[in-house]
Amino acid sequence: MANPSLSHLNTTVHLLALTELQMARFVRTHRWPSYRTTQILRWIYQRRLRTIMDMTDLPMQDRVALSQSAAIGRSEKVTVLRSQDGTRKVLLTLEDGMTVESVLIPDDTRLTLCVSTQVGCMLDCGFCLTGQMGLKRNLKLNEIIDQVLTAQDLLMSEEHITNLVFMGMGEPLANVEALKAAVAAFTNKPWGLGWSRRRITVSTAGLASRLSEIAAIGVNLAVSLNATTEEQRRDLMPAASNIASLKSLLAACRRYPLAPHQRLTFEYVLLAGVNDLPADARRLVQLLKSLRCKVNLIPFNEFPGSRFHRPPDKDVVRFQSDLRKAGLDVYVRRSRGRDVYGACGQLGEVSGNQPPVTLTAIETRC
């Protein structure tokens, strides 16, 4: 039975869930001047306001009317887990009590924010903790945007986010409308965050027929390959393989319309004794032949109950050098935030239930 105390949740408009067009329509229904659209959008994106009554350039009666018909759509409960390496994992509690995770990763000159698009994930990749949760639901537009605005709220004055990656929980291509609208807000100059599309990357487990939708958004594309034979990919990523075979995924990558400055990124999780052998390296070179791309190797990040292991460093280095010798541009992604379960593939239920003991600080804001 529906919980009567939650019934208002369905009727309140969340301002951060509206596209510019929808906001303009909303403003018209209130019979306000059209410039109010930009005014409101600036308040919620650029000033990151949490309270409608603080929109001081709106007449008081309009603020009251707006408060009665809408809420901004920010989460009120935020928990931050700080890793010893400076990585911060941010947990937002959503309106229905679920949590969503994003990770702020400092690295030399860069500060990357990794955001989620779903609670849980529709896919079942065996090496990924999020995959084991199953799909709880897609995130709403305001919940995706809230992750970015909240991360900005947490920054110190000299910090700013340089890169945004959709590599958190979930499969971004399964929530593409919200993804599109979020990127529109992050890149909009007059009222949004004004970020360049070049600094935004969307990572997919390989929904081949939908890659062109990323091209249309104009952001960078990363494809999680993780295997070099159909059989291996079926074993490691069953649901993703059902959607598209390795062959059709690579064919879609070859057709992908790269802009002149762009190249594809292929991610490859290294699993000891499973896909990190010299023969895997040789096959990977063959598969990526003639593709304009770089490869990010991600040594497996362990979590309780997993059947996989992280390869020793020497095997990672050997795999990298095998690919380099064949002319590929290859990087090893340093694992960050492992002590707060904030590294790739570690976002999921472990963190909610049992915060690791190595935390240097936990902050909660309500």
Site for ligand SAH, rule CB under 6 A: 127-128, 167, 171, 203-205, 224, 226, 267, 269, 298, 300-301, 344-345
Q: Which residues pair with 91 in a beta bridge?
A: 79, 101
Q: Of the two residues 27 and 135, which places its CB atom closer to ligand SAH in the complex?
A: 135
Q: How far is the CB of 341 from ligand SAH (least distance, A)?
A: 10
When computed from its CA atoms, the radius of gyration of the chain, rounded to whole angstroms, is 21
Q: Of the two residues 161 and 205, which places its CB atom closer to ligand SAH in the complex?
A: 205
Q: Of the two residues 85 and 267, which places its CB atom closer to ligand SAH in the complex?
A: 267
Q: Which of 101, 143, 171, 267 is catalytic?
A: 101
Q: How far apart are CA 283 and CA 229, in angstroms?
A: 8
Do 82 and 134 meet the contact criterion of CB atoms below 8 Å apart? no
User: Which H/E stretch holds residue 239?
Assistant: helix 238-243
Q: Of the two residues 27 and 236, which places its CB atom closer to ligand SAH in the complex?
A: 236
Q: How far is the CB of 200 from ligand SAH (least distance, A)?
A: 14
Beta pairing class for 99-107 and 118-120: unpaired
344 is catalytic: yes
The Cα angle at residue 342 between residues 341 and 346, in degrees rounded to 5:
60
- From the list 208, 186, 203, 238, the residue with the least C-alpha distance to 333 is 203
Q: How far is the CB of 177 from ligand SAH (least distance, A)?
A: 17
Give, rounded to a whole angstrom, the gap between the first and last alpha carbons of the chain.
29
- From the list 87, 90, 85, the residue with the least C-alpha distance to 351 is 90
Q: Of the two residues 149 and 243, which places its CB atom closer to ligand SAH in the complex?
A: 243
Q: How far apart are CA 352 and CA 347, in angstroms?
A: 10
Q: Of the two residues 95 and 349, which places its CB atom closer to ligand SAH in the complex?
A: 349
Q: How far is the CB of 167 from ligand SAH (least distance, A)?
A: 4
User: Which H/E stretch holds residue 251?
Assistant: helix 246-255
Half-sphere exposure of 176 (CA within 13 A, CB side): 14
Q: Which of 293, 302, 344, 349 is catalytic?
A: 344
Q: How far apart are CA 20 and CA 22, in angstroms?
A: 6
**In the bound complex, which residue of the shown chain has the CB atom lying closest to ligand SAH?**
345
Q: How far is the CB of 216 from ligand SAH (least distance, A)?
A: 19
Q: How far is the CB of 11 from ligand SAH (least distance, A)?
A: 32
List all residues 6 or more positions away from 153 whose beta carbon is below 8 Å from its beta carbon: 48
Q: Of the two residues 187 and 226, which places its CB atom closer to ligand SAH in the complex?
A: 226
213 is catalytic: no
Q: How many CB atoms lie under 10 A from the CB of residue 119?
A: 23
Alpha helices in 57-155 (DSSP H): 60-69, 129-133, 141-154
Question: In which residue are the tokens 């989460």 written?
Answer: 75
Q: How far is the CB of 40 from ligand SAH (least distance, A)?
A: 32
What is the CA 318 to chain-centroid distance, rounded? 30
Known catalytic residues? 101, 344
